[in-house]
Every structure is written in C-alpha cells, then in structure tokens.
Amino acid sequence: MHISEGVLSGPVLAAGMGAAAVGVAAGIRKLDADDVPRAALLSAAFFVASLVHVPVGPASVHLVLNGLVGLILGWAAFPAILTGLVLQAVLFSHGGITVLGVNLLTMAVPAVACGLAFRPLVRGEGAVSFAAAFACGFLSVLFAAVLAGAFLVLSDENFLEAAGGLLAANLPVMVIEGFVTGFLARFLVKIQPEILGAQKEKPSPKKANG
C-alpha cells in the first residue's frame, strides 16, 4: 500500500513528514532497551511481508502485518515500521524517500490506534480474543487504505477513483490480515503472554485430600 514517488503534492509531503517525525519521536520514547530485539524482529516481518506486491494505480497491494506490529509494540510501531519502509524504498524501490512520511503515517497510525484499542481484549480467552485480534488486523489495513486514499485525494481530486480502487483491491488483504493476526496473537498469548502485557496462567492448586 505504498504511495509512489512523484504522486503527492508538496504540501501533503511536508505535512506528512512533520507528523511522521512526531510519531517516531513518541515511539522512540516508548521503546525500552529490552524491546529493541522484538521491534527489530517485527520490523523484519513487516519488511518481508511486502516482498510480494501487486501494483494498483499509484500504489500497491500486499500483506502488511501492521496490526500485529501495533498489538505488540504500541507507539514503538512508528520506528519499527519506519525501518521497514526505508529498507523497502532503498532495496526494492517500494514507495520512495520523499513519501516516507506519508507512507509511515498510512501504516503506523492504524497500527498504533488498533493495537492499543484491541490489546486488552486480545489478552483474554477464546473466541473474544481471536475476534479482537482479527478485528485489529482487518481494521489496520482498512484504515491504512482509507488514509492512503485520503492523501491521494488531498493532492489531486482526480485521484478519487484511484483511491476507491485501492480500497476495493485491499479487501481480500484485510480478511487475510485478520486471520493471520488472529492466529498469531492467540499463539503468542498462549506461549508468551507477557508480549501483549498479559500474565501467564497459573495452574490451579490441587485440593488437599481429606
């Protein structure tokens, strides 16, 4: 869902850079030293997820995993996603340098918002936990597509049709992201719940005989 170079207007690019810088600064403040390896791993996952992408007008469609990144990292998703975007731009020309700010906002704002909103429910049990994780993955991509379309339209109203096409093209991705995020989040809650701020379940004490 990267917006390409040369598509957006100067004011939109400048505003995107400024807002993204604020988000990155907030994310770095929230990133503890112990969280750096986890952030690096998620940044790598975000990077790899985009290797298979399909161009759609001035943008592209691919797996994102931003919902999962937001669930685990919260505000620290900003620097983690930024690292992935820089590597994608430099190594594979996905997006570009001048659009880094806008592309970061497109991916990270939904990641942080959905991650923080659904994390308490994901920490729970059973169907509610899976449904919350699914919603986090689904809505993170939905909101990212809406933001990307909004940036396109703000630059040029002629991009309105392209923005609608981008949203429609990402519908299958939203569903896939929902299931991927759901299964991975449930797996993490079971084997390492502290990643999501939950506590491991303690076995019930056996009742004393007699």
Identify the pLDDT of residue 96: 82
**Taking the CB of residue 161, how many other CB atoms lie within 10 A of it?**
12
Identify the pLDDT of residue 203: 45
**Taking the CB of residue 72, how many other CB atoms lie within 10 A of it?**
24
| Greatest distance between any 2 Cα atoms in the chain | 80
Identify the pLDDT of residue 162: 80
Cβ atoms of residues 181 and 67 within 8 Å: yes
Per DSSP, helices labelled H in 50-125 are 66-73, 77-92, 100-122
Identify the pLDDT of residue 205: 47
pLDDT digit string, tens, across residues 103-139 = 999 999 999 999 999 999 998 878 899 999 999 999 9
CATH number of 10-196: 1.10.1760.20
Residues forming beta bridges with residue 60, ordered by sequence position: 55
Cβ atoms of residues 73 and 22 within 8 Å: no
Identify the pLDDT of residue 126: 81
* Reported pTM: 0.84
Identify the pLDDT of residue 166: 80
Tokens at 54, concatenated: 């399909």
Residues forming beta bridges with residue 56, ordered by sequence position: 59
What residue ranges of the chain have pLDDT lower than 50? 199-210
Identify the pLDDT of residue 60: 58
Alpha carbon distance, N-terminus to C-terminus of the chain: 65
Q: Which amino acid is at 166?
A: L
Helix and strand numbers (H, E) in the chain are 8, 2
